[in-house]
Chains A and B, each alone.
Chain A
Amino acid sequence: MKWIMAIIKPFKLEEVREALAASGVEGLTVSEVKGYGRQRGQTEIYRGAEYAVNFLPKVKIEFAVRDEIVEPAVEAIRQAAGTGRIGDGKIFVLEVAKAVRIRTGELDAQAI
């Protein structure tokens, strides 16, 4: 089992969600985060004084998948979340040691 974590641009969330559903991913956790990579922040002006906004709003999606679905899921995210401009985000794939479904007690592959 793998845990896939992706940082994407907020306005891409709906598209990514639909693409993931099409590739067999049945659940997601979403959080609003801020961050930067090589895309720097931007400058804003308030009452005549400039200030740099270093952290940009992003959305983090994460979910567990069986190994067979990792490649299709990663590809789905890449296609749906990409705009070709800097700041599109990153995808990380991590190992999952164990998974448990709380309601039934099912383990690992049955829990996802």
Chain B
Amino acid sequence: MLRTLIKGAAPLLLLVASASGTFAQEVELAPPGAGSVSAETAFILNTFLFLFAGILVMWMAAGFSMLEAGLVRSKNTSAICLKNIALYSVAGLMYFLVGYNLMYVDVSGWIGSLTLFYSASPAELALQAGDEGALATVLEAGYTTLSDWFFQMVFVATAASIVSGTIAERVRLKPFLIFVVLLTGLIYPIQGAWTWGGGWLAEMGFSDYAGSTIVHSTGGWAALTGAIIIGARRGKYAPDGKVNPIPGANLPLATLGTLILWMGWFGFNGASALAMDSAAALVEISQVFANTNLAAAAGVVTAMVLTALLYGKVDLSMTLNGALAGLVSITAGPDIGSPLLAVLIGAVGGLIVVASVPLLDRLKIDDVVGAVPVHLFAGIWGTLAVALFGEGDLLVQLTGILAIGLFVGVTSSVLWFLLKATIGVRVSEEAEELGLDRTELGLEAYPEFGQGARVF
């Protein structure tokens, strides 16, 4: 088996080596707005890109909900569904209240401005009221203020939804939502200000196209610290170190969720080109779409092959993780010139998942859906890949990864500890045994189907 693997790898390595040569042919992109369309047309197209792609990314909330609903036990399904739609809404509100301003408005290196409520700009409101003279000011921005807000808002919601999956089946609703309030209102916007907001990391040259670190690793750190501080599900790890699998109740839902996320990712990466106003911009977006798909596909195939080799049978849940890990891996640099490199980057994402899921179990860190390998570890890989294969600087990328990791890791930990010490985060033993649907919500996801997860 191993010999066949190595023999197969050799021609692949040759291909990759020759593909790196195609880097010289990377398309020279004109800056946004430099095409031959009028300023207003450019404005319209750019805004449309954000609005439409924002819908695709919003739809990822459905993806996360279904993925998580499929991988928890039936007795906890309603609870996880509620957490998902709730966190999406809380994130949207917090980002409106304070988040966007903290991240994007008057960013002074480390932080934006702490003002309340984001809204359309005065010039836009004037234009809407009929003042034609305001048009020039409006067009200067390149796109509407609220389309940008909308597009950015769905990103922070995505980061928050990473957390719910990891710590599922043992966390109470209230402390979880309090955490989300602070993650989306404070933690995410601040590290976002350092980067996309134009702060110190951006000035250093930190390159994260659509957020492998900024969105995915951030969510991943919040999830990992939560899993460690809150502890594993009862019965998951025996005292002698044996791992007791807790299979998900609905793999079709998990598969559906994964494919929905895959589709949403075209908006996630695609619109991070931030412009749709010239032929060159569309060339970039097309490359991004192609690379995004290739990376996901490579992640799937890699996970399938590896689980088949390791366990004798392909593991569907890790294959699903593989797709997402591939997507997260390419997210930092989906505009890469060589599609073959996108395949390689995604494949490594799949490898990371298959290697780290059992590793977390050995460390007794209970990650119900595999979000930490998918979002945190693959996120780190994706960010580094920009330096290895793209135009990023390795030291700068590492600085960003470590700085954001430290910031999010420490603040999240403090938050989890505070919540644990004050109102408590975990449900009671009895509630965990009966299931969160009955104890937290008072309703069952599958009331006609009997008991769900039983002893035998």
Interface-forming stretch among B239-247, B286-294, B391-399? Answer: B239-247
Give the residue name and chain of the A residue nearest to B370 (CB).
A47
Minimum CB–CB distance from B233 to chain A (whole Å) comes to 13
Q: Which of A45, A48, A49, A55 contacts B244 (CB 8 A)?
A: A49
Which A residues have a C-beta under 8 Å from some C-beta of B?
Answer: 34, 44-51, 54-55
Which B residues have a C-beta under 8 Å from some C-beta of A?
Answer: 243-247, 310-313, 315, 317-318, 357-358, 361, 370, 456
What separation, in Å, do the CA atoms of A55 and B357 have in the docked complex? 27
Interface of A is mostly: strand
Please determine whether B245 and A46 come into contact, CB atoms closer than 8 angstroms.
Answer: yes
Minimum CB–CB distance from A36 to chain B (whole Å) comes to 10
What separation, in Å, do the CA atoms of A44 and B370 have in the docked complex? 19
Please determine whether B318 and A47 come into contact, CB atoms closer than 8 angstroms.
Answer: yes
Sample of 6 more A-B contacts, CB < 8 Å, known A46-B246, A48-B310: A45-B312, A47-B315, A47-B358, A48-B243, A48-B361, A49-B361
Minimum CB–CB distance from B308 to chain A (whole Å) comes to 11
Minimum CB–CB distance from B251 to chain A (whole Å) comes to 11
Please determine whether B456 and A54 come into contact, CB atoms closer than 8 angstroms.
Answer: yes
List 19 A–B pairs whose Cβ atoms lie within 8 Å, in order of A's numbering.
A34-B456, A44-B245, A45-B245, A45-B313, A45-B315, A47-B358, A47-B361, A47-B370, A48-B243, A48-B315, A48-B357, A48-B358, A48-B361, A49-B243, A49-B244, A49-B245, A49-B358, A50-B245, A55-B456
Please, which residues of chain A bring their CB within 8 A of the CB of B313? 45
Minimum CB–CB distance from B388 to chain A (whole Å) comes to 28
What separation, in Å, do the CA atoms of A51 and B361 have in the docked complex? 14
Minimum CB–CB distance from A64 to chain B (whole Å) comes to 27
Which of B311, B317, B370: most chain A Cβ within 10 A? B311
What separation, in Å, do the CA atoms of A47 and B245 have in the docked complex? 8
Minimum CB–CB distance from B358 to chain A (whole Å) comes to 4
Minimum CB–CB distance from A13 to chain B (whole Å) comes to 20
Please determine whether B245 and A51 come into contact, CB atoms closer than 8 angstroms.
Answer: yes
What separation, in Å, do the CA atoms of A34 and B455 have in the docked complex? 12
Give the residue name and chain of the B residue nearest to A49 (CB).
B243
Give the residue name and chain of the B residue nearest to A50 (CB).
B245
Minimum CB–CB distance from B283 to chain A (whole Å) comes to 40
